[in-house]
Amino acid sequence: MTFGKEIFDVVVVGAGHAGCEAALAAARIGVDVLLVTGNLDTVAQMSCNPAIGGIGKGHIVREIDALGGAMGVAIDKTGMQFRMLNKSKGPAMQGPRAQADKKEYQNEIKRIIENQPHLKLRQDKIVSIITEPVVNHADDHNAAELAAKQSSKRRVIGVQTDDGVIIYAGAVVLCCGTFLRGVLHFGERMFSGGRSGEAAVDGISESLIELGFKISRFKTGTPPRINSRSINYSVLGEHFGDVEPAPFSFLNDNLSGVVQIPCWVAYTNPKLHEYIRDNLKYAPMYNGQINSVGPRYCPSIETKIERFADKDRHQIFLEPEGRNTNEIYVNGFSSGFGRAIQERMLRMVVGLEGVEIMRYAYAIEYDYIPPEQLKLTLETRLVDNLYIAGQLNGTTGYEEAAALGLVAGTNAALRIKKCEPFILGREEGYIGVMIDDLIMRSVDEPYRMFTSRAEYRLLLRHDNADRRLTPIGARLGLVSGQRLEKLNRKIDEIAIAKKILSTTHDANGSMLKLLSRPETTWQEIVNRIPQLGNIAKDSAEQVCIDVKYEGYIKRQELDIERLRRLETHQIPQSVDYSAMKHLRAEAKEKLEKFKPENLSQASRISGITPADIAIVTVYTTGKTSNSKLKTEIN
């Protein structure tokens, strides 16, 4: 940075979960980063539920951690209750989740940011994106003419603050969350805001529209927070954490020192449902006030009552927001009703008859960028060096946002260093699945990760994220030497254990074969081979999964080989789909919209058939589609 003119390698706009991971990732790679936020007191704020992880989401957090991110480390340090969800199911379906002390989590992330080399944190308001035409300087004497010809293609050179100051940057990452032209709804009241108590961001949307971006609107919401002293706990169910809590971060072997606190379970009832139906005319989602689409898997209580009309009750989880506050988050009770109706609704729940609301629920509408306008690196197609991450991509959830931020920040830094980009495939991680879904299928509702979205989920378990991704993180410069050394020790330990198992026999065969039986436990093996008792718990777990699921794992590896063969069939970005005579009109439209880079991507676009792929193959390779290729596409 030079005095009088601010120049950074990367500027990240917004310090929510996406912005924090983006800035930290870029800085870890070694470029100079500025992280700009409208309010330093809300860095990494949990605007909605006080929790990290869950099914699918927990996988993402462990992948972020394996790549050197901050989310897993922070929740391990500030969590109040840890649970492994789906423990009765197989390892691919399980997912870690933790209740967080919201303020302590924010403070921990802010502390990490403030102590990260190459990273500066600042409170400021960004209102526009500054760009210039992309000019091919091969013939400098024709630069002006080339600039005119290429005026539709631009590159970012910085951002502008609300007082007119330009901060120059080699790359910009936008992580504006729900703030772009945000509108809050409290019943029939509407007003501008990014979330309750904070101003919306105006100017950036207009700047993006001027550059040619398509902007759309989504809706989300949050439930009320209530005073714990006004709850009758004696009639509620208690919800405890695991006796042996599992850490999120691979740097931590255990969480034996954490003191966990319970959550509580309440239920809605038919009388409450009837009251909600009688008042739907006052709900913004039902009176025409809100026309945007909200998250299907996290609906408001009014939407839940309508959608599941056959249910006479729904669970409500009462989750503490911190160890040193009386605020309780009413999970499952998101609403856009006004305050009077909210109070009446809550007091109809058994145990909440005398409840005191500390913060009222509200709905919010905000701008997002339909993600088909992005590359797999999360760089925009229209503007070079401009990256988009977080809810601005059409996602919902802290975990999804953080992962997108990490990828965008990494690629922004790699662009500055003129290195190859970082792209995770669907077969490499849940993060890769999410980005591929967003880019190649786009969204018509806020995107949320589930294990069902990953076709290779047996390979993409949360427990092996370090084995899958930490070597990649080390190659990119994202991962510390300490983390890589710990992984290498674990890999060596797994190899030693497998060798001992394969070379130790009894009358029925090797111990490796014995362990492969579903009913055989690791402890039974240790009883037979005491030296394996020295193997660390997480290494032993990996050995058990590798051995017991070997056949299924090999089958998925064969599927991945087939996927990679399809990926070798490249599709030139200059291809003219309209010239493909036998291609259906719908296929032409979708292929032109998503611009797949290879046959594998094209085959995953909704509505594209194997016949369409065969036609594209003929036009792009000049060869007729053989039976083997047809089989792979199907």
In a domain, 561, yes or no: no
pLDDT of 623 above 80: no
- 206 belongs to a structural domain: no
Strands (E), 325-401: 327-331, 357-359, 362-368, 383-384, 386-388
pLDDT average, residue stretch 302-307: 92
Check whether 627 has a pLDDT greater than 80: no
Verify that 141 and 167 share a domain, yes or no: yes
- 28 and 164 in a single domain? The answer is yes
User: Could you tell me if residue 209 is inside a domain?
Assistant: no
**Which whole-number Å values give the CA distances from 554 to 491, 561, 626, in the listed order?**
19, 11, 26
Report percent pLDDT > 70 for the chain.
95
Q: Place 1 in a pLDDT band, splitting at 50, 70 and 90.
A: very low
Using DSSP, state whether 453 is helix, strand or coil.
Answer: helix
Considering the domain architecture, whether residues 536 and 465 belong to the same structural domain is answered as: no
502-524 mean pLDDT: 94
Q: Are residues 357 and 373 in the same domain?
A: no
> Same structural domain for residues 174 and 271?
no
Residue 239 shares a structural domain with residue 335:
yes
- In this structure, what CATH number is given to the domain that contains residue 424? 3.50.50.60
pLDDT in tens, 216-243: 999 999 999 999 999 999 999 999 999 9
- For the ranges 316-320, 370-374, 594-598, which has the lowest average pLDDT? 594-598
β-strand partners of 315: 267
Give the lowest-confidence range in 55-69, 183-197, 369-383, 556-570. 556-570
Range list of H helices, 456-548: 465-476, 481-503, 511-515, 522-528, 537-548
Residue 153: per-residue pLDDT: 87
> What mean pLDDT is reported for the chain?
92
pLDDT over threshold 80, residue 382: yes
Cβ atoms of 390 and 14 closer than 8 Å: yes
3-state DSSP percent of the chain in helix, strand and coil, to 5: 40, 20, 40
**67 by DSSP, 3-state: which?**
coil
CA atoms within 13 Å, Cβ hemisphere of 337: 24
Nearest to 382 by CA among 605, 32, 129, 143: 129
Please name every residue paired with 365 in a beta bridge, in sequence order, or none if there are none: 183, 219
Torsion of CA 610, 611, 617, 622, to 10 degrees: 150
Residues listed for the chain: 634
Residue at token pair 């254990």: 497
CATH number at 299 reads 2.40.30.260
pLDDT for residue 2: 44
Quick one: pLDDT band at residue 620, thresholds 50, 70, 90?
confident
Domain residue limits at 337: 222-362
If asked whether residues 228 and 81 sit together in one domain, one would say no
Query: What is the pLDDT, as a whole number, of residue 10?
Result: 98
The percent of residues in the chain predicted with pLDDT above 90, rounded, is 81
pLDDT band, residue 144 (cuts 50/70/90): low
Looking at residue 536, which CATH number applies to its domain?
A: 1.10.10.1800
511 burial (CB, 10 Å; 0-12 / 13-18 / 19+) is buried
In this structure, the number of other CB atoms found within 10 A of the CB of residue 551 comes to 8
Hunting for tokens 């299928």 — which residue is that?
A: 441
Identify the domain boundary among 337, 362, 387: 362
DSSP tag of 56:
T
CB atoms within 10 A of CB 195: 22
At residue 625, the pLDDT reads 47
Closest CA to 326 of 241, 453, 472, 225: 225
Task: Give the domain-ending residue among 522, 551, 580.
Answer: 551
Residue 622 has pLDDT above 70, yes or no: no
pLDDT at 565 over 90: no
Residue 261 belongs to a domain = yes
The count of other CB atoms within 10 Å of the CB of residue 315 is 12
Residue 146 has pLDDT above 60, yes or no: no
pLDDT of 628 > 70? The answer is: no
What pLDDT does 137 receive?
Answer: 59
Residues 44, 161, single domain; the answer is yes
In 3D space, the residue among 147, 121, 146 whose CA is nearest the CA of residue 43 turns out to be: 121
End residue of a domain, out of 475, 505, 538? 475
Buried-exposed string 358-368: b where 16+ CB fall within 10 A, e elsewhere:
bebbbbbbbbb
Tell me how far apart the alpha carbons of residues 220 and 297 are, in angstroms, rounded to a whole number.
11
Residues 234 and 347 in one domain: yes
CATH code where residue 575 lies: 1.10.150.570
273 within domain boundaries: yes
CA-nearest of 18, 276, 47, 319 to 184 is 47
Burial of 137 (0-12, 13-18, 19+ CB in 10 A): exposed
Asked if pLDDT for residue 150 goes beyond 90, the answer is no
User: pLDDT, tens digit, for every residue of 249-300?
Assistant: 999 999 988 999 999 999 999 999 999 999 999 999 899 999 899 888 889 9
Q: Are residues 302 and 416 in the same domain?
A: no
Is residue 238 domain-shared with residue 268, that is, in the same domain?
yes
Secondary structure of 12-47 in HEC code, one letter for each residue: EECCCHHHHHHHHHHHHHCCCEEEEECCHHHCCCCC
Q: Give domain status of residue 204, yes or no.
A: no
Domain count, the chain: 4
Q: Domain for residue 202, yes or no? A: no
Tell me, what DSSP letter sits at residue 358? E
Q: How many CA within 13 A on the CB side of residue 18?
A: 27
Q: Which helix (H) or strand (E) holds 51?
A: strand 51-53
- Same domain as 499, residue 468: no
Q: Is the residue at 156 inside a domain? A: yes
pLDDT per residue over 531-544, tens digit each?
999 999 999 999 99
The reported pTM is: 0.93
Instruction: Report the C-alpha gap between 23 and 12 in whole angstroms.
Output: 6
